[in-house]
Amino acid sequence: MINSLVTVELYRKSIYQSNISCSFVGNNSLPNHSSINTCIRTCVNAYYCQTAIYFKKENICSMFADVCNEDSIKSSENTSATVICYKNDPQLIPTCSSTVDQETTSISSVVTSSIQGVTSTTTTSTTTSTTSSTTAIPQWTITGDMSVARDTHTASTLANGLVLVAGGVGSGGFLISAELYNTSTGTWTITGNMSTARIYHTASTLANGLVLVAGGYTGSSYLASAELYNPVTGTWTTVGSMSGTRSSHTASTLANGLALVAGGVGSGGFLISAELYNTSTGTWTTTGNMSTARIYHTASTLANGLVLVAGGRNSVGYLNIAELYNPSSGTWTITGSMSVARIYHTASTLSNGLVLVAGGVGSGGFLISAELYNPSTDTWTTTGNMSTARIYHTASTLSNGLVLVAGGVGSGGFLISAELYNPSTGTWTTTANMSVDRAYHTASALANGKILVVAGFGSTGFLVDTELY
């Protein structure tokens, strides 16, 4: 974990000429209206960075892994660049050493990191064009800013690889707007507006490629309305409304192509009801009620086709009750209860079929605990605790099977930290911090294996910032 007490020295109107081939990590294009502080923060939050250059005119932050060498800093009145030298504890960040063979004039250098016990080695030679590398050091990369700062929005990965963000709330109020992230260019473009501004809604990517947005809250009333986004035309079309108003519910796409919404709150209070959206008819039909009305719960689609709903709260209090929806019968069955009642937690379906629930808040305050649901035994078992108790965070299952938890709110305020859960060991390991603290954000798994974290709210207010892990 990076020491929060970091000392830096600034060398204005200077450039950095490293003689270590492994040291240059790359250029980060910074968000609009950034300052040198953004570059400082970006480097501080990267495990490997010990030297950086801020190019004010180009709004770029270049980072290096080797310890800042003052002999390599060259003054230049013709540049607006500033060299940033970090005085961090060298045990907390990787060091970059080099050996020079005078006979072959090649430079071989090694970057070593103790992150998660993984060693990463990069070898480069001046006599060949071959570059070989092993496992990359986990890191966050700042990507394009959204056009509108927002939190409590939804994010949906489309079949064409783009990510659709819709609704939420910003400094100007509740949002009707939507925009698309292009993974190839790292940029956002505005797309068609929804018919209704909304927060606390759900968004489901359907088998036909359309995105179904349902319910939510307008600031004055709960919503029963639903609409479809068409990625081909970039437009929204209203469809049949749900049987009643519903907000802060869950939505799950079933194997049969239907979309299941469950629980939440409406004009009549906490909801026990559930209903199904039929893509063929554009209509909703009620299905079996849950055993318990609930809000702020999670819903996970299991490998066997059932849907697991866990936790939440109602007028009675926090819930540890979990239940299963069977699409074949349209009924709910109570299953094993969690060890801890919780809301605002996350639920992640693992590659081994188990479901990981992490964090949240209960009657005792913020939760650091996590537990696993086993569909084969219908039971929960506790697993390793996170390093930080948190709510309003995100959880993403990575292509390597690990689960990335990022951001949220803890007892000390908004969180910039992230950590990884390893299903093989049942333990958590801290990973690189995000570039900004944030909560109420979204996290989307991309086809390239990266995780896109979008916007939210942090210590600086509503965010347009997005980044990739």
- Output 111 or 85, whichever has higher pLDDT: 85
Banded pLDDT at 60 (limits 50, 70, 90): confident
Q: What is the mean pLDDT of the chain?
A: 85
**Residue 62 within any structural domain of the chain:** yes
The number of folded domains in the chain is 1
- Output 337 or 44, whichever has higher pLDDT: 337
Residue 193 CB coordination number (10 Å): 15
- Output 143 or 109, whichever has higher pLDDT: 143
What pLDDT is recorded for position 46? Answer: 55
Task: Spell out where 311-386 has E strands.
Answer: 313-314, 317-318, 322-326, 331-335, 346-349, 355-358, 361-362, 365-366, 370-374, 379-383
Question: Has this prediction a pTM greater than 0.85?
Answer: no
Q: Quick one: what percent of the chain has pLDDT higher than 70?
A: 81
CATH of the domain at 78: 3.50.4.10
What pLDDT is recorded for position 114? Answer: 28
Residue at token pair 């696993």: 372
**Residue 400 within any structural domain of the chain:** no
**Residue 143 within any structural domain of the chain:** no
Which residue range is the domain that position 56 belongs to?
8-133
- Output 192 or 129, whichever has higher pLDDT: 192
**Residue 71 within any structural domain of the chain:** yes
**Residue 424 within any structural domain of the chain:** no
Question: Is the pLDDT reported for residue 95 higher than 50?
Answer: no
What pLDDT is recorded for position 101? Answer: 32
What pLDDT is recorded for position 129? Answer: 33
Q: Quick one: what percent of the chain has pLDDT higher than 90?
A: 70
Question: Is the pLDDT reported for residue 135 higher than 60?
Answer: no
Question: Is the pLDDT reported for residue 6 higher than 90?
Answer: no
pLDDT digits (tens, 9 = 90+) for 346-391: 999 999 999 999 999 999 999 999 999 999 999 999 999 999 999 9
**Residue 156 within any structural domain of the chain:** no
Helix, strand, coil shares, percent, the chain, to 5: 5, 45, 55
Banded pLDDT at 48 (limits 50, 70, 90): low
**C-beta separation of 383 from 369 below 8 A:** no
**Residue 296 within any structural domain of the chain:** no
**Residue 379 within any structural domain of the chain:** no
DSSP line for 382-447: EEPPPSS--BS-EEEE-TTS-EEEE--EETTEE---EEEEETTTTEEEEEPPPSS--BS-EEEE-T
Picking from 89-93, 273-277, 307-311, which range would have the lowest pLDDT averaged per residue? 89-93
* Contacts of residue 186, Cβ cutoff 8 Å, sequence gap at least 6: 143, 144
**C-beta separation of 415 from 407 below 8 A:** yes
Question: Is the pLDDT reported for residue 147 higher than 60?
Answer: yes
| pLDDT (average), residues 104-112 | 26
Banded pLDDT at 47 (limits 50, 70, 90): very low
